Amino acid sequence: MPVSESVPSAQASHLHHPDDVRLAEAAAVFALLADATRLHLLWLLAQEESDVGSLAERCTASRTAVSQHLAKLRLAGLVETRRDGRYVYYRLADGHLRRLVVEALSHADHRVSGEAPHD
């Protein structure tokens, strides 16, 4: 089945054949998502932008650990920052990542809850 038939049209509009460069880039993103704390932080940021202290309060990691994880995500280009006075606010870099994180956790919810999968 051609990509245009298997992928919804909004996504297929700029989907290229997965050559080595694109596969490596996607694998690098998945490697960063493979850490539960980073995935939790990305899920929180998918809801709204936030500062390190607020993120540390909402997940089970220390402020130092959250800061280190956010630094990795920022270096990888997955999160962006905005400074407001003494605070630095983090947000997801784009909607593709937001949808990827939400879909991954929705998939996990189906597996944990036993709810039937769907499209």
- 3-61 pLDDT tens trace: 444 545 445 566 778 999 999 999 999 999 999 999 999 999 999 999 999 999 999 89
Residue 46 lies in a domain: yes
Residue 13 lies in a domain: no
In a domain, 75, yes or no: yes
What's the number of domains the chain is made of? 1
What pTM value is reported for the model? 0.85
**φ and ψ of 102, to 5 deg:** -65, -45
Q: Identify the band that residue 118 occupies on the pLDDT scale cut at 50, 70 and 90.
A: confident
Give me the sign of the Cα torsion angle 73, 43, 19, 12.
negative
**Helices 36-47 and 63-75, packing angle to 10 deg:** 80
Domain membership of residue 12 (yes or no) is no
- Domain residues for the domain of 31 are 20-113
Could you read off the pLDDT of 52-95 as tens digits, one per residue? Answer: 999 999 998 999 999 999 999 999 999 999 999 999 999 999 99
Tokens standing for 2? 């051609």
